[in-house]
């Protein structure tokens, strides 16, 4: 029967009026919270049943994901793209939560009632199909809590009812087995993704064409990615200099820099037929040449990758070329398009 502070309210025997009043008060104290909690504290729960809880792993050299379907709500996803940091994404079929701040907690499962819940803070809730996206540190914290056997709760008011709350639970059930597969995927990820190398600048020392170790690492990452992704078809290299020296010397220096990058790429296995080189001297600065840092930014070869076939280089006749540029080498023109910065 009811918890009645030691009163014998379940007996069918006659009880005194004062004991009867005590029983009524105890009953009210037990019933009233039940009328309130479902509307405020408990909220609208979205959680997978224990017997149907699953964690799904999608693995490739380009990205790894570890996700849990949440019935009638969407998915909870840990997503790691090559070259980037871990994210936790709450993917929702419908906009349930009101924009603002949601509470995140790590809660102990029913089989560990002695452990206390942990408040992990508040996070932003946004409009759209991914209302919650968490950064690297908190995403790793959520993974850690799931690994040690705790659930994750995310709670926020719904946009349609100020008195209740939406409660999304990410279950720890079956997490460890899927987590091991996810870790195996991380070990095979490429060092970079296409967005990170689609446009790359290789920098040079003053009046030099030698590739520095940091720039070689950039080129190595490009080669590693291109070897794994056959959809990349074309390389466009544009050589540049600062304004120190004559225009003729700078044009020659820009050409040698572009060729130095091409030589490194082809030696690493890139098809030379997929590479187009151009050189522009000091013509296209991206920073002012009046100070050292600006000149350092201008001494570069830009690399642009595309997934389209190589476009033919448009050449001008020597007469038109000399008239229009005045400082271009015979047979070479940058009129095929403005070089990328």
Q: Give the model's pLDDT for residue 20.
A: 53
**Edge to edge, what strands does the sheet with 63-70 contain?**
56-59, 63-70, 74-81, 87-92, 132-134
Strand partners for 133: 89
251 pLDDT higher than 90: yes
What's the mean pLDDT when you consider all of the chain? 85
Least confident range of 259-268, 282-291, 332-341: 332-341
pLDDT, tens only, 162-213: 888 999 999 999 999 999 999 999 999 999 999 999 999 999 999 899 999 9
Nearest to 298 by CA among 280, 315, 309, 285: 285
pLDDT at 6 over 60: no
102-140 pLDDT, tens digit each: 999 999 987 777 778 999 999 999 999 999 999 999 999
Decide which of 270 and 94 is more confident. Answer: 270
Which comes out higher in pLDDT, residue 208 or 10? 208
304-330 pLDDT, tens digit per residue, is 999 999 987 764 443 443 333 333 443
Q: Which residue, among 226, 217, 144, 242, has the nearest Cα to 193 in the 3D structure?
A: 226
**How many Å apart are CA 6 and CA 115, to the nearest integer?**
28
pLDDT at 16: 58
Of 154, 176, 157, 156, the residue nearest 89 (C-alpha): 154
Angle (nearest 5°) at CA 243 between 238 and 244: 120
How confident is the model over 57-73, as pLDDT tens digits?
999 999 999 999 999 99
């Amino acid at each position: 029967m009811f918890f009645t502070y030691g009163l014998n309210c379940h007996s069918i025997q006659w009880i005194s009026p004062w004991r009867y009043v005590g029983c009524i008060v105890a009953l009210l104290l037990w019933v009233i919270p039940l009328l309130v909690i479902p509307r405020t504290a408990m909220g609208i729960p979205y959680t997978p049943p224990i017997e149907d809880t699953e964690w799904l792993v999608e693995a490739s050299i380009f990205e790894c994901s570890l996700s849990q379907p949440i019935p009638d709500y969407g998915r909870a996803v840990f997503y790691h793209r090559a070259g980037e940091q871990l994210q936790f994404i709450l993917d929702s079929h419908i906009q349930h939560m009101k924009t603002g701040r949601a509470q995140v907690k790590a809660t102990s499962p029913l089989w560990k009632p002695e452990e206390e819940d942990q408040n992990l803070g508040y996070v932003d809730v946004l409009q759209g199909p991914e209302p919650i996206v968490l950064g690297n540190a908190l995403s790793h914290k959520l993974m850690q809590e799931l690994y040690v056997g705790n659930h994750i709760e995310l709670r926020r008011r719904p946009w349609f009812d100020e008195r209740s709350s939406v409660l999304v639970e990410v279950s720890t059930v079956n997490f460890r087995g899927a987590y091991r597969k996810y870790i195996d995927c991380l070990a095979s990820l490429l060092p970079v993704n296409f967005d990170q190398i689609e446009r790359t600048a290789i920098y040079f020392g003053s009046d030099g064409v030698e590739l520095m170790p940091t720039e070689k690492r950039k080129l190595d990452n490009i080669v590693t990615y291109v070897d794994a992704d056959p959809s990349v078809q074309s390389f466009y290299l544009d050589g540049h200099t600062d304004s120190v020296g004559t225009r003729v010397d700078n044009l020659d220096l820009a050409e040698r820099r572009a060729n130095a990058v091409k030589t490194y790429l082809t030696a690493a296995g890139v098809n030379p037929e997929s590479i187009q080189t151009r050189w522009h001297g000091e013509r296209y600065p991206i920073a002012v040449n009046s100070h050292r840092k600006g000149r350092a930014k201008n001494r570069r070869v830009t690399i642009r990758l595309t997934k389209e076939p190589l476009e033919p280089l448009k050449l001008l006749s020597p007469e038109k070329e000399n008239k229009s540029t005045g400082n271009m080498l015979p047979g070479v023109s940058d009129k095929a398009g403005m070089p990328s910065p």
